[in-house]
Amino acid sequence: MSTISSSLLAASAAIVLLLGLAHLAYTFVGPKLLPRDRELQVRMQEVSPVITRQTTMWKAWIGFNASHSFGLILFGAVYGYLALAHGDFVFGSFFLLALGFMLLLGYVFLAARYFFRIPFRGVLLATVLYAVAVALRQV
């Protein structure tokens, strides 16, 4: 049961890792995260947020997308590694299991509310695999 649980947790982490890597690539390469309205991008490059004039909405947009990707990549890499190399440790830590589950639930909420179908389905699948892995380990 522990091998199956570790594999399911690693699969969950791999999905999140792949979503993060794809999002990072889309942030810096190609048009996928560009506005369809070219004028909007121009305005975002000219306008600063209220908090500071040291950046623009466009730079903030790029930074937020990249940092979001880094969070996904970190989760996927750390939990994937722990599942495969230190399964007893991660499954023995209520803190790590709860933290990972809460983060995934947060991503499910954000994806359902603010994203689109593909990331929503991806994080939902990752969350289900994570929950099944934890449940099987408890048996």
**Alpha-carbon gap, residue 9 to 21, rounded angstroms:** 18
Tens of pLDDT, residues 88-129: 999 999 999 999 999 999 999 999 999 999 999 999 999 999
Hey, where are the domains in the chain?
2-34+67-138
Note the pTM of the prediction, 2 decimals: 0.94
How confident is the model over 27-79, as pLDDT tens digits? 999 999 999 999 999 999 999 999 999 999 999 999 999 999 999 999 999 99
